Every structure is written in C-alpha cells, then in structure tokens.
C-alpha cells in the first residue's frame, strides 16, 4: 500500500510484522544525524511505552517535526510492536515558525489512514511548543481522535510548566483518550513521566501521573495493566455541559421556572432521552443546560460542506453532546462520535386503503388463471381419451361407440348438468366419465364456496403489495423530516 502526502515525507509499513520502508535515518540540515546514547534511551522509552498498547490489530502512527527525534526512535524501531504496520509522518518546521497549513494537511492524511485501521496509537514527538499546539488544534478540529480505539501519546522534552500555556494541547489531551509523556534528566539519568489530563480540567491543574519510565527499571504503571486510565467515568470538577436536543413525539420541550436563568425560564425536555441525561448527570457528576438549534433541524450536510441543526452545534463545539436519538449516516459517522446504539427502529411505508367496492369480474377471483387453464386442459384431455379409445377397440366395438355423446357428456359434467342416459355403455366409458365427475365435484364445490364469500364481502383495493410497487409508482409523494437521517439515504438512491 502506498500513500502520498501533501507535505514532508511519509514512511509507511504494512504487514503482519513491523516494517520500515525507508531504511535510512532522516536528514537534519542536509546531514545524517548521529544518535547519542541519551537519545537512544529516549527511543527505547518511546518503544516501551507504545508496546504497552499492543493488540492483534494494532498500528502505530509517528508524527514528528523533522528534528532528530525520529533517528532516536527509528534506531529502536525493532522494539515497536505494530502487527498491522508503522507509519511515520514528518512535517518540517521553518526557521520563522511552524507551518500550520502543512500540519493541517499532515493531520488530514493521518485521518484518512486512521479510518481504515482499527486499533491505532498516534505518537507525536516534538520539542516545539508551536508544533504541539498546532497539531493538537488540527487533530481536534479534524476529528483525528474521534474513533474510540484511537489513542494519542505526545512525547516531549519540554518541562511541564511550559505546556500550561498551550490551551489547544490541554484541550486535546483532556477531551480525548490521550496522554503526555515528559522526558527529562534527573541526576544524569534519563526519566520519563506519563501524565493524564482529567476531562474539563483547567490548564493550570496538576495532571495525574499514570506511569514512570527509567533506564534501569523500565515502565512502571500506576494502575496496571492499562496505560490509559478510564478518565471519562467520573468528572471531579463538576463541569457545566451544554446539551443540544430537539423535539420528537417522545421528547417534548418545556419551559420551567428558574430564577437563575435569563428571563426566569429554563429549557428542559420530558421523555426517555431527558431521563437518560439525568442519569448520566448523576453518575458522571456534571451540570447541564439544554439548547435547541436555531433552525430546529437534526443535522444535514450542506453542499458547501457545512452542517446545520444539532450536528452543527456539535461540530462547532457549541454543545458537548446530544441524547438524540440521532440516526447513523456515513457523513455523520465520520464527523461526530457515536455511543453504543441504544435503540433500533424499523421503517414502514404507509399508503391509503382503497374504498370497498364490488368487482364485476369477481367470478374469476375464486380461481387463479393457472387453475382455469388447468381445468380447460383437463377437459380437452378427457375428450381426447374418449375419442381415441374407440379406435383401439375391435371393429364392432368402435362402430357402436358414441363419440358425440361422450363429448357432450364431459361438457355437461363440467357445467353441473345431468348426463344423457343411453343404453349399451361400455365399461371404459363409465370409468373415464366417473373419474371426470369426481374431479368436477371437488372443483365446483370449492369454487362455489369461495365465490359466495367474495360476493358477500366487498373487495378493497390494495395497490401496494410490495416495496417495489411503491418505487414504481411515479405519483407517490414522500414526506420526510427536514435534515433527518433519512435524507442521505433517499438522496443517494
């Protein structure tokens, strides 16, 4: 598999073992960089940390700023455990500062790669504060870490107090499944501390240390066996969250009295979705306020690439989440993050029922056209037998056979009339005529019963028997909820 990047260079390895397509070390100022012993230890620290997130379908994406860090990491790339491949994205930084456009394109390419993989760990390696801030902002806005199985590890040698001013970096680390690894030297010994930023925390808040790595002791986890803590199960800061919702039959918007709200009124909802929000508020420890989209729509992707409705509020971060239920579409799936499905719905096509009426051709309804054809074919077969059998008998017998009488007798039996009595019937005539009478008795009794039922009950026309009947009817009009999940399906088909 090959991948072309808009900026920098990309090394991509795919396979059942970790491969590196580009064998040489990256250049620095036109020369190959020598890897010092200290930097080699950094590469071992990075490899050991990433190895803790191993799974049978894991992949690793390394994002660097073009400095000598890749040399330290790639020297120890044999220790990187990535069964589904290793990809390295390198974005060169300029002397006058970080090129935000290049970083945005790099993150976009990484986003395309992440969507085709399952268990991905993104490792960002840089000592440039501007690069870290730009990457954090681009990854958050482009939803690089939208998939739950995608994790972020940011490695840097910057001190922790210098990172407090990087608000975009803190926002990404606190709102996503991400960790920050700070590498430093203590008493001439290499050490790395891995921190986790709690959700909705402030940049000045002290992060939680989840692991420590030393050259002699390796990686020590604060809560083994997982490196990434489950930090979204409780919000200790008791944050205030904005929730977007919209009305539907089981979710009714109401205004309640609240002196603390503007105008003394507060928007809330009544229904199963609001009960779910109340439950989550108590379990996760957060306060919330409802907001409705100005256009009162759920969310549809417009031709200019923007969204409307509740999806716009989520994309533009005017709301944290929505209880929905929001239908899953292709465009929405790659824009917002869905939880596990909480309900399944079935769609049905409704059509007006026809008026009761009497069908003048109702006498044909008890039997299908195929049955009518079978009856006529059977009559012709019986008449043919009655005409052929005399020719197979002796001359005297054939001469006394009554061909015209036998033909009319078969028709009279079908029409429920009596049979003309004649003398001198042969035994074979009696057998054939008796079998024909038995068949007609069963058929006529069935026909009479069904015909009486159909004449007693008026017929109601049902024009749509299958979904294909609806699609083939050009006069059918479709009424859909504006900006709902059904719009993309009908638009695509």
> For residues 191 and 39, is the Cβ–Cβ distance under 8 A?
no
Helical H segments across 12-128, by residue range? 37-51, 69-75, 100-115
Residue 398 has pLDDT above 70, yes or no: no
| Angle at CA of residue 349, ends 347 and 352, nearest 5° | 150
Tell me the pLDDT tens digit for each residue of 137-172: 888 878 888 776 788 999 998 888 888 778 888 888
Under the banding of pLDDT at 50, 70 and 90, the label for residue 285 is very high
Would you say 174 and 200 are in contact if contact means Cβ atoms under 8 Å apart?
Answer: yes
Question: What band does 78 get if pLDDT is binned at 50, 70 and 90?
Answer: low
Instruction: Tell me the C-alpha distance between 441 and 447, whole Å.
Output: 10
For residue range 349-364, list pLDDT tens digits in order.
Answer: 777 777 766 666 666 6
> pTM of the entire structure?
0.66
Q: 91 CB contacts (<8 Å, ≥6 apart)?
A: 7, 8, 63, 64, 65, 66, 99, 102, 103, 106, 131
What is the per-residue pLDDT for 277? 93
Strand-strand pairing, 287-291 and 265-270:
unpaired
Does 7 score more than 50 pLDDT?
A: no
What is the pLDDT, as a whole number, of residue 282? 93
**What is the rounded average pLDDT of the residues 30-47?**
60
pLDDT for the residue numbered 105: 86
- Over residues 468-490, mean pLDDT: 75
Residue 12 pLDDT grade (very low, low, confident, very high; cuts 50, 70, 90): very low
Of residues 269, 307, 316, 272, the one with CA closest to residue 289: 269
Q: What is the pLDDT averaged over residues 402-423?
A: 70
Mean pLDDT of 298-313: 89
Mean pLDDT score across all residues of the chain: 77
pLDDT for 219 beyond 80: yes
């Amino acid at each position: 598999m090959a991948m072309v990047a808009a900026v920098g260079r990309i090394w991509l390895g795919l396979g059942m073992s970790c491969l590196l397509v580009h064998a040489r070390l990256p250049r620095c100022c036109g020369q190959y960089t020598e890897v010092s012993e200290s930097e080699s230890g950094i590469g071992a620290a990075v490899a050991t940390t990433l190895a803790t997130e191993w799974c049978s379908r894991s992949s690793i994406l390394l994002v660097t700023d073009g400095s000598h860090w890749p040399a330290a990491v790639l020297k120890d790339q044999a220790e990187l455990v990535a069964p589904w491949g290793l990809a390295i994205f390198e974005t060169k930084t300029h002397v006058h500062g970080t090129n935000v456009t290049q970083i945005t394109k790099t993150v976009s390419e990484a986003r395309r790669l992440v969507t085709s993989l399952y268990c991905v760990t993104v490792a960002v390696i840089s000592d440039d504060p501007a690069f870290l801030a730009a990457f954090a902002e681009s990854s958050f806005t482009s939803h690089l870490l939208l998939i739950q199985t995608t994790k972020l590890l940011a490695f840097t040698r910057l001190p922790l107090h210098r990172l407090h001013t990087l608000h975009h970096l803190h926002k990404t680390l606190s709102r996503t499944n991400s960790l920050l690894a700070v590498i430093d030297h203590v008493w001439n010994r290499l050490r790395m501390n891995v921190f986790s930023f709690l959700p909705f925390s402030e940049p000045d808040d002290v992060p939680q240390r989840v692991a420590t790595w030393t050259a002699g002791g390796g990686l020590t986890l604060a809560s083994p066996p997982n490196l990434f803590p489950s930090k979204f199960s409780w919000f200790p800061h008791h944050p205030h969250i904005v929730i977007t919702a919209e009305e539907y039959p089981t979710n009714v918007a109401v205004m309640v009295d609240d002196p603390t709200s503007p105008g003394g009124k507060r928007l809330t909802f009544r229904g199963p979705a609001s009960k779910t929000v109340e439950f989550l508020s108590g379990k996760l420890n957060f306060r919330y306020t409802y907001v409705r989209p100005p256009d009162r729509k759920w969310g549809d992707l417009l031709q200019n690439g923007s969204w409307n409705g509740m999806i716009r509020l989520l994309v533009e971060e005017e709301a944290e989440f929505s209880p929905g239920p929001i239908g899953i579409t292709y465009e929405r799936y790659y824009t917002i993050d869905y939880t596990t499905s909480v309900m399944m719905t079935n769609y049905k096509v409704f059509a007006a029922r026809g008026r009761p009426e009497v069908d003048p051709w109702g006498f044909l309804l008890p039997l299908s056209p195929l049955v009518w054809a079978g009856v006529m074919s059977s009559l012709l077969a019986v008449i043919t037998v009655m005409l052929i059998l005399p020719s197979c008998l002796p001359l005297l017998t054939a001469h006394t056979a009554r061909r015209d009488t036998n033909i009319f007798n078969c028709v009279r039996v079908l029409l429920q009339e009596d049979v003309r009595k004649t003398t001198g019937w042969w035994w074979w005539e009696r057998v054939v005529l008796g079998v024909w009478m038995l068949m007609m008795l069963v058929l006529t009794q069935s026909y009479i019963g069904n015909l009486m039922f159909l004449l007693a009950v008026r017929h109601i026309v049902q024009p749509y028997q299958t979904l294909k009947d609806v699609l083939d009817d050009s006069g059918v009009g479709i009424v859909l909820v504006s900006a709902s999940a059904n719009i993309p399906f009908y638009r695509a088909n």
